[in-house]
């Protein structure tokens, strides 16, 4: 196992005033900081785990959702193994990414990308309602058949980190740089990570051996269908999407894109969990009680596509 | 292996205006964010790795320095294994922490701790000169016998993340909460992580089975010496400390504290690398070319103290 950074660019800052800051006032230490100079910015932190007996034919890359970090794929809020461990044990080389700005990728206060707008952190009610755990956080009442480990709600919300809205292009660039390093790969993306996969894919379709798009809110554009139609794509959709206008729209987009790829003779598969009788999954399905059941369905699809 | 969060507190925000933000303008998606509500803030992300044949008698916790994350203990900038892997392979249960605000611990824009002051990211020249790689970044010339992998300087600086100056107490609280979870442990702290160890230690000395303090800038206060003197402490000091007034002062503090503990009949050991003929180490010695040689000296000290 190991870790490295992918992508990023050089930022040069000039003409800004020198600041004196008190570091750790209790020990009475001051540091003079001159913000002028060069920085590396907009890179992505990547942590990898390689199995002893590799069975996956390509590296397996995990791209998390908005406001989250690579933590999303690790231990679940209630302490069970996540998808990282599931696929690693099956013999996949696993690469867990923190998107630009998130987690160990860091961000740069002097970079315009981050200084032009205040970032947002999801409050607890948002993380409950927006991600379809239940209709109202006030009651804490989850939807019927909910799979979410509500007893570990505090642990769940602790994993959210501030997000900016103007960083999509930087994330796409860093993930592209990562694919240049790893070579052709299989990507599992969630939400924002799945949506942005399509932006990376159109610039380097040959680097995608397959994409598992878990509840993206955006898909491939119509003009890209021919370019990407031969890349195996598995769409994974949870429950309760029709209860929220935004998710209803995302669901419709996914199904439309899936049908267009199929109509073009491409390789697209829809894993619509409630339609298969798997009820109760929210947007956070990779950390819910049936997370291994869903992972098993993904692994079957990998096998069917000769990826392992 | 797995991960979890330690510590933190509840923050309630009320009476702030609702904002509409454009998420990913390219896909034309807007989100209405109501910042009012509850948040979990000031927790620490912890990633652990447990060996098959445990040899360490206690968990081994790694607390990184200021402006850094747990990445500091992983793969070195030039791609070699770091101290995490070294001690894990020797049979230690290893816990890598991201301090409050850093990396996957995240931070909270609505939390006064973070909103009252602009954070700082170290520019490249600072990370070179302040941490004693060489006298001047302009020339890129390192000090004599330097052990730093300069060909990987870009990878090194990518690991720095923004830091605030008022978060020491929150970091100490979260690390204390971690020790409540893990039970008595051995801590390896670097720089800020080593300095703050003494603040945690005075509140729960029974939780420290040993401390390896790598170049702290602050030590135990005189009134705490009696309380902590029986805890085995190993101080690790690199080269070139006398060339910088701030490091000269830190070095003097370390030696003074070491001597006070010894005078009180306590268990303190000084690993002064240049005095032992190990030349060329900067403040970032855990990622330099002789990082395993230094780790071996630490492991010998663990053995001498019956910790493994």
Residue indicated by tokens 């941490």: B131
Please answer whether residues B73 and B110 qualify as being in contact, where contact means their C-beta atoms are separated by less than 8 angstroms.
no
Mind telling me how many Å the CA of A218 is from chain B's nearest CA? Answer: 6
List chain B residues with CB under 8 Å of A4: 75, 79, 155
Residue B23 pLDDT grade (very low, low, confident, very high; cuts 50, 70, 90): low
What is residue A275's predicted lDDT score, i.e. its pLDDT? Answer: 98
pLDDT at B292 over 80: yes
Integer Cα distance of B204 and B198 in angstroms: 10
Integer Cα distance of A240 and A110 in angstroms: 41
Least Cα distance to B61 among B186, B247, B173 occurs for: B186
What is residue A179's predicted lDDT score, i.e. its pLDDT? Answer: 98
Write down the mean pLDDT value for chain A. 95
- Identify which of A85, A126, A165 has the shortest CB distance to residue B22: A165
pLDDT tens-place string over residues A243-302: 999 999 999 999 999 999 999 999 999 999 999 999 999 999 999 999 999 999 999 999
Residue A27 pLDDT grade (very low, low, confident, very high; cuts 50, 70, 90): low
SS3 B252: helix
Residue B303 pLDDT grade (very low, low, confident, very high; cuts 50, 70, 90): very high
* DSSP structure class, residue A163: B
pLDDT tens-place string over residues B217-241: 999 999 999 999 999 999 999 999 9
Residue B188 pLDDT grade (very low, low, confident, very high; cuts 50, 70, 90): very high
Residues A158-191 as b/e (b if ≥16 CB within 10 A, e otherwise) read bbbbbbbbbbbbbbbbbbbbbbeebeebbbbbbb
SS3 B295: helix
What is residue B21's predicted lDDT score, i.e. its pLDDT? Answer: 76
What is residue A23's predicted lDDT score, i.e. its pLDDT? Answer: 63
Query: What is the mean pLDDT of the segment spanning B163-167?
Result: 90
Q: Where are the domains positioned within chain A?
A: 42-304
Integer Cα distance of B185 and A241 in angstroms: 46
pLDDT tens-place string over residues B194-206: 999 999 999 999 9
Q: Return the H-helix or E-strand segment holding B249.
A: helix B245-263
What is residue A219's predicted lDDT score, i.e. its pLDDT? Answer: 97
Integer Cα distance of B165 and B67 in angstroms: 10
pLDDT at A207 over 90: yes
What is residue A52's predicted lDDT score, i.e. its pLDDT? Answer: 95
What is residue A29's predicted lDDT score, i.e. its pLDDT? Answer: 67
Domain B2-304, CATH: 3.40.50.1820
Long-range Cβ contacts of A269-272 (<8 Å, 24+ apart): A269/A232, A269/A233, A269/A234, A269/A235, A269/A301, A270/A235, A270/A237, A271/A234, A271/A235, A271/A236, A271/A237, A271/A297, A271/A298, A271/A301, A272/A235, A272/A237
| Dihedral class, residue B101 (left if φ above 0, else alpha if ψ from -120 to 50, else beta) | left
pLDDT at B26 over 60: no
Integer Cα distance of B92 and B52 in angstroms: 10
Mind telling me how many Å the CA of A277 is from chain B's nearest CA? Answer: 30
pLDDT at A24 over 70: no
Query: What is the mean pLDDT of the segment spanning A104-129?
Result: 92
| Stretch 66-85 of chain B: residues touching chain A, C-beta under 8 Å | 66, 69-71, 74-75, 79, 81, 85
Class of domain A42-304: alpha beta
What is residue B138's predicted lDDT score, i.e. its pLDDT? Answer: 95
What is residue B166's predicted lDDT score, i.e. its pLDDT? Answer: 87
The tally of CA atoms less than 13 A away on the side-chain side of residue A65 is 20
Nearest CA in chain B to A21: B165
Query: What is the mean pLDDT of the segment spanning B251-267?
Result: 98
Q: Provide the 10 A C-beta neighbour count for residue B204.
A: 13
- Identify which of A1, A38, A160 has the shortest CB distance to residue B124: A38
Integer Cα distance of B308 and B293 in angstroms: 18
pLDDT at A192 over 70: yes
pLDDT tens-place string over residues B96-133: 999 999 999 999 999 998 988 889 999 999 999 999 99
Query: What is the mean pLDDT of the segment spanning A12-28?
Result: 78
Chain B CB within 8 Å of residue A245 CB = no
Chain A CB within 8 Å of residue B193 CB = no
Write down the mean pLDDT value for chain B. 95
Pairwise CB contact (< 8 Å): B39 & A123: yes
Q: Which of B62, B83, B121, B283 to mutate to test the interface with A (most CBs of A within 10 A)?
A: B121
What is residue A2's predicted lDDT score, i.e. its pLDDT? Answer: 98
pLDDT at B25 over 60: no
User: Is residue A219 classed exposed, middle or buried when 0-12, 13-18 and 19+ CB atoms within 10 A define those classes?
Assistant: buried
% of chain B surpassing 70 pLDDT? 97
Give start and end residues of each alpha helix (H) in chain A: 83-89, 112-115, 124-129, 153-157, 168-182, 192-203, 225-228, 245-263, 291-304
Pairwise CB contact (< 8 Å): A47 & B74: yes
pLDDT tens-place string over residues A30-77: 778 789 999 999 999 999 999 999 999 999 999 999 999 999 999 999
pLDDT at A162 over 90: yes
Please answer whether residues B204 and B173 qualify as being in contact, where contact means their C-beta atoms are separated by less than 8 angstroms.
no
pLDDT at A88 over 90: yes
Question: Phi and psi for A106 in degrees, rounded to 5?
Answer: 70, 180
Residue B30 pLDDT grade (very low, low, confident, very high; cuts 50, 70, 90): confident
Least Cα distance to A294 among A83, A29, A19 occurs for: A83
% of chain B surpassing 90 pLDDT? 92
What is residue B165's predicted lDDT score, i.e. its pLDDT? Answer: 85
Strand partners, B234: B212, B269
Question: Phi and psi for B146 in degrees, rounded to 5?
Answer: -55, 140
Regarding an ipTM greater than 0.90, the answer is: yes
Residue B273 pLDDT grade (very low, low, confident, very high; cuts 50, 70, 90): very high
pLDDT tens-place string over residues A213-237: 999 999 999 999 999 999 999 999 9
Mind telling me how many Å the CA of B277 is from chain A's nearest CA? Answer: 30
What is residue A299's predicted lDDT score, i.e. its pLDDT? Answer: 98
Query: What is the mean pLDDT of the segment spanning A109-131?
Result: 92
Integer Cα distance of B64 and A103 in angstroms: 15
What is residue A26's predicted lDDT score, i.e. its pLDDT? Answer: 53
Pairwise CB contact (< 8 Å): B160 & A98: no
What is residue B29's predicted lDDT score, i.e. its pLDDT? Answer: 67
Chain B CB within 8 Å of residue A146 CB = no
What is residue B149's predicted lDDT score, i.e. its pLDDT? Answer: 98
Question: Phi and psi for A293 in degrees, rounded to 5?
Answer: -60, -45
List chain B residues with CB under 8 Å of A119: 109
């Amino acid at each position: 196992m190991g870790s490295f950074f992918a992508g990023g660019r050089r930022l040069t800052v000039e003409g800004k005033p020198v600041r004196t800051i008190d570091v750790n006032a209790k020990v009475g230490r001051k540091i003079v900081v001159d913000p002028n100079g060069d920085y590396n910015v907009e890179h992505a932190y990547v942590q990898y785990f390689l199995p002893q007996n590799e069975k996956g034919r390509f590296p397996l890359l995990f791209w998390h959702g908005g406001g989250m970090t690579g933590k999303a794929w690790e231990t679940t809020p209630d302490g069970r193994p996540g998808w990282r461990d599931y696929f690693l044990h099956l013999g996949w080389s696993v690469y867990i990414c923190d998107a630009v700005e998130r987690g160990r990728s860091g961000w740069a206060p002097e970079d315009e990308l981050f200084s032009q707008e205040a970032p947002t952190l999801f409050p607890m009610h948002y993380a409950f309602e927006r991600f379809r755990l239940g209709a109202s956080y006030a009651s804490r009442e989850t939807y019927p058949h909910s799979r979410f480990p509500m007893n570990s709600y505090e642990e769940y919300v602790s994993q959210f980190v501030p997000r900016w809205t103007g960083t999509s292009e930087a994330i796409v660039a860093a993930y592209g740089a990562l694919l240049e390093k790893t070579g052709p790969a299989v990507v599992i993306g969630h939400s924002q990570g799945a949506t942005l996969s399509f932006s990376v894919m159109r610039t380097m379709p040959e680097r995608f051996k397959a994409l598992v798009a878990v509840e993206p809110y955006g898909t491939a554009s119509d003009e890209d269908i021919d370019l990407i139609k031969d890349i195996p794509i598995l769409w994974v959709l949870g429950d309760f999407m029709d209860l929220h206008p935004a998710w209803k729209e995302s669901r419709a987009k996914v199904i439309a894109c899936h049908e267009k790829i199929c109509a073009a003779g491409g390789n697209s598969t829809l894993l619509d969990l409630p339609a298969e009788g798997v009820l109760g999954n929210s947007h956070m399905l990779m950390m819910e009680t049936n997370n291994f059941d869903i992972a098993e369905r993904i692994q079957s699809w990998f096998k069917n596509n000769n990826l392992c």
